Structures are given as C-alpha cells and as structure tokens.
Structure 1
C-alpha cells in the first residue's frame, strides 16, 4: 500500500513539475507557438466558431424583436398623440368659431340697442325641411312669442312660427311657400347739390329662389333707381317684424311681367347653412287690435333711430320705418 501511495504522490509531483515547466515555457515571449499550443488553439477556435455564430445570430434576432416592439410602442404613442392633437385642434377651431359668432352677436346687439334680444341655440333642423324651419331651445317660459323676428349677427333669418313652453319653431326666409311677406326698404344713395342723401325705396319680399339662393323683392315702384350692393332692411310697416333689421344686399333688378313695378333679387346677409346661435328680437312696442301703439314693458322709451348700418356700397343710415 505504501508503494502505491508513494507512486501516486510521485506522479502528482512529476505532473506539477511538468505543468510548471510548461507554464514557464509558454509564458515567455516567443516568435512561434509550439505544436500542442497550435493544436489546442485551432481546436478551440473551431469549436468556438461553431457555437459563436448561431449564438450571435440569435442575439441579433432577439435585439431586432426588441427594437421592433419599441418602434411599435412609440408608433402607438405617436398615433394617440396625433389623435389627441386632432381632437384638440377641432375643439379649438370650434371654440374660436363660437367666440367669433358671439362677438358678432354682441356687436349686433350693441348696434340694435332699441330692441330686446333673447339668445337661443338651434337644437333641430330637419333634412326634409332644411330651407323651411329650425327649432330653438327657448319658448314661452323665456318670453318667446309667435311672430317675433329671429336673426343672427349678420341679418334676419325668419320669424317665430309656433311656440311651446321650452322650445319654438322658426320659419326661415328661405321658405318660399310661406304666406307672410316682409315689408322692406332698399337704402339708396343719391347726391343732391353735393350732399349725399339716403332715400328709402319700399317693396315686399315675397319668396325665395332656391336655385339662385336669392330672396325676391317685388312691388318696387317703377322709376326708382336701384343699384347692386345697396342694403335692404326691414321697414316695420307690417307691425310684427321690427324695423331696421338687415336682410341683405341687392344683386340685380328686373321689371315685372307687366312693366308697372320692379323686382329686386336680394342676397341674404345671414348664412342659412350655418345656423347655430340666433337672437329672437322683440320690438319696442306692439300694435293693438285698434291700431294703437303699446310700448312693451321691457323698454323705458319708444324705439329711436338706429345707428348707421354699414353696407358694401358704403355706410348708409337706417331708415325711419320698420318690419313685417
């Protein structure tokens, strides 16, 4: 036993000596490697190449999957931001448009200070009767009455046709089948002895031409000089529609079928395709069945003249006459 134990010890010592010798021999600087070093180095290179290339390809594949997922997440975030931006932009334009309309309505209310205004929103408009009626969100409980004039900041659009407690139906000027005509004035411009005057030319708006989108004003006295771009306003002679409300501008004039009167074609001031907020106008006085003027309680004094109304042909003062 001692021999074999000593033999193993001797073998271990010889192996250590050999290993130390090999380490010492290989650690010094040499020009060439030994054949065992070259053998083991080449063998390890081959084995390393076999496993390195698939591992590197798999690593690149995993990295590409990660990059694609990151791009997908960024794309989702960008799309969400773009959708939110589009929504915010639409809301901004809507608020700007509403602000502009409210400013125009406030300006119109300031100019027409002799009337009582009740602001309302359009809540319904039938596609079958698009040019005939609209429904607003104010009614009897808000002081709305039948035949009150309804306008936007740009001009008259119609009258209240029927009223419920919390809503009302408005008959538009574009309803060419309606029976209630509107008495109106054309504000002409003349120069007499170097002084500009603005005589009023009376007529009646009777219908609407849907093809040309123009109001038709008839019963204009023959011989009156009428030009394009002259302002048309309500006269108030009918006792229902207040006076001096803008209606539109003259586009052209033609004689009637019998050559006794003239017919004017009027471009409405209001945009009937965009009706969102409207104003219901109450005149300063009412007409009793006996024909007497009864001041409304909301006004402390009778209606006075309205400040000048600007038209495309120039600035013309409102006429002393009134509406329906």
Structure 2
C-alpha cells in the first residue's frame, strides 16, 4: 500500500513538471495574442510591481537626497575651512610684506646715515595707558644704547632714549605730553628758521614748533628737521612738514603746526643714532 501511494505521488510530480514545462514553452513562443488567464496574471503582477516600485523608488530617492545633502554639507565645511585658511594666509602674507618693506626702508635709512653709528631695534612693548608717550625696544646697554640717543624710523624722527636697561630701552616719543620733551628744530628754506618742538595736539595729530620769530614767513609744506644745536641729536633728521602757522597770544612769536613724517601709532622697526659717533667722524674727517 505505501508503495502504491509513493508511486502515485511520483507520477503526479512528473505530470506536474511536464505541464509546467509545456506551459513555459507555450508562453515563450511568439504569438500575436495571449490567453486571458495569462493576461490576467500579467496585469496582476504589473499592478503589484507598480504599487511596490513607486514607494520604493521614492524612498530610494529620499535617501539619495539625504546623502547628497550630507555630501554637500561636508564639502561646504571643507571649503569654509580652506577659505578660513586662505584668509589667514593672506593676513600673514600682508604682515610679512609690511615687515619686509619696513626692514628695507630701515636699511636704506641706515645707509644714508653712514657717518653716524646706528643700531637697529624692534619695538617689543607698548603700554595702552601711555600709547602716545613711549615704546620699549629690544636693545639695551649691552648693544651700545645710551640715554638721550635719537630714535628714528624709515620715515623720520620719532623721539629719544630716556631709560636704558641691560637688554632693553625705553623711547619717549615726540607726541609725549611731557613738558620737558623738547627738540631743537629748524624749518628748512632759503634761510633756516629755528625753533623748539614742544607739545603735541592729539586732536589734529600735529606737533607744535614754537618760539618762531613773528616776522618770518613760513609756508605750508616746508620741511622741519632737527637743528643739531642742542648737541644731543644729529642735524637734518626729518621731523615733518609744516601744515599751518598761527601767531602766539603775545604777538611776539608764532607757532607752526607740523605733520609728523613718522607714524607714532605704528612703530615696529627703529634705528638708534649715536651722536657721539657723528661728532668723532666729523673731527677725524671720516677716518678711524
């Protein structure tokens, strides 16, 4: 009995396989028209694929858009980082360019002062509370700096050394309000006019050249330089240009307002001038 059922099952299986192969062959052959059952099955399968495909495609598109946004955010972050680095490099390049130009100008100024002994220094400190008064430089006693030496930039005269330490020195600027901060100066012209730089107008940012004879004509744009009469500073160091001249209250003298040649607010590299070396050079005729 079991053997009969086993053979029966085998026969049914073989018949099913034959029918399946026949149906496949029938469906694969070229025909102008397909049967209604086949059309029904195809319609059902197509509808099911359409229902499943649309949400699936939409979901896939959503994930693709999310990935695109993520990639865009990452790229923008990298670009922003590169832009920040570029800005930093541009600022650094500008700073180096300015420093290079200042050093070139300082070297040029030093060459023009061959007859005087000069010491190159850099400003290392500036107190905000005394911004108009003084700066600290990185040269001191061991470098040959001494009190009352003239200090200039590539643009012009800025002040004098007032305090000397072993390795550092303090420079008092011409813009200092100290009443004892005076410099013997002259207005260059057909005939030099002598006076004293004493005082600074913070509002107009102009130096005051006082004690000028009232009957002497001084024009705007004339150069003002150190006179050398005080015996402290070399003569001919450029201080600035005359902007205007006003009579004093007593009517016996006049005051010239002088625009500084150097920028007191932006001092980085300076030269310290040794007047003693200049005197020695003039006595020996430049021979050592």
TM-score computed with the length of structure 1 as normaliser: 0.81
Q: 1:249 corresponds to which residue? A: 241
What are the within-5 Å matches in structure 2 for residues 156-235 of structure 1? 156-188=157-189, 198-235=190-227
Q: d(CA) in 2 for partners of 1:150 and 1:211? A: 24
Label 1:260 to 1:5 Cα distance change in 2 as closer, same or farther (>3 A): closer
Q: d(CA) in 1 for partners of 2:7 and 2:223? A: 131
Structure 1's unaligned 5+ residue stretches are: 189-197, 287-292, 305-324
Contact 1:229 1:251 in 2 (8 A): yes
> Residue 57 of structure 1: CA displacement?
2.4
Structure 2's unaligned 5+ residue stretches are: none
> Residue 253 of structure 1: CA displacement?
1.4
Q: How many residues align?
A: 286
> Residue 74 of structure 1: CA displacement?
0.8
Label 1:12 to 1:148 Cα distance change in 2 as closer, same or farther (>3 A): same
> Residue 27 of structure 1: CA displacement?
2.3
Q: d(CA) in 1 for partners of 2:252 and 2:197? A: 17
Q: d(CA) in 1 for partners of 2:257 and 2:201? A: 9
What are the within-5 Å matches in structure 2 for residues 101-112 of structure 1? 101-112=102-113
Label 1:56 to 1:225 Cα distance change in 2 as closer, same or farther (>3 A): same
TM-score computed with the length of structure 2 as normaliser: 0.91
Matched, 1:258 2:247: no
Matched, 1:119 2:111: no
Label 1:283 to 1:120 Cα distance change in 2 as closer, same or farther (>3 A): same
> Residue 149 of structure 1: CA displacement?
0.6
Label 1:158 to 1:87 Cα distance change in 2 as closer, same or farther (>3 A): same
> Residue 247 of structure 1: CA displacement?
0.3
> Residue 82 of structure 1: CA displacement?
0.6
Q: Deviations over 1:84-132 (max 9, x none)?
A: 1011100110011111111111221122222111111111111111111
Label 1:200 to 1:74 Cα distance change in 2 as closer, same or farther (>3 A): same
Q: Secondary structure at the match of 2:26?
A: helix
Q: Deviations over 1:110-161 (max 9, x none)?
A: 2222211111111111111111111111111111100001111111110001
> Residue 12 of structure 1: CA displacement?
3.8
> Residue 5 of structure 1: CA displacement?
4.8
> Residue 284 of structure 1: CA displacement?
4.2
Q: d(CA) in 2 for partners of 1:301 and 1:55? A: 100
Contact 1:175 1:207 in 2 (8 A): yes
Instruction: Point out the more displaced range, 276-285 or 155-164.
Output: 276-285
Instruction: Point out the more displaced range, 214-223 or 233-242.
Output: 214-223
Q: 2:39 corresponds to which residue? A: 38
- The Cα RMSD (Å) is 2.2
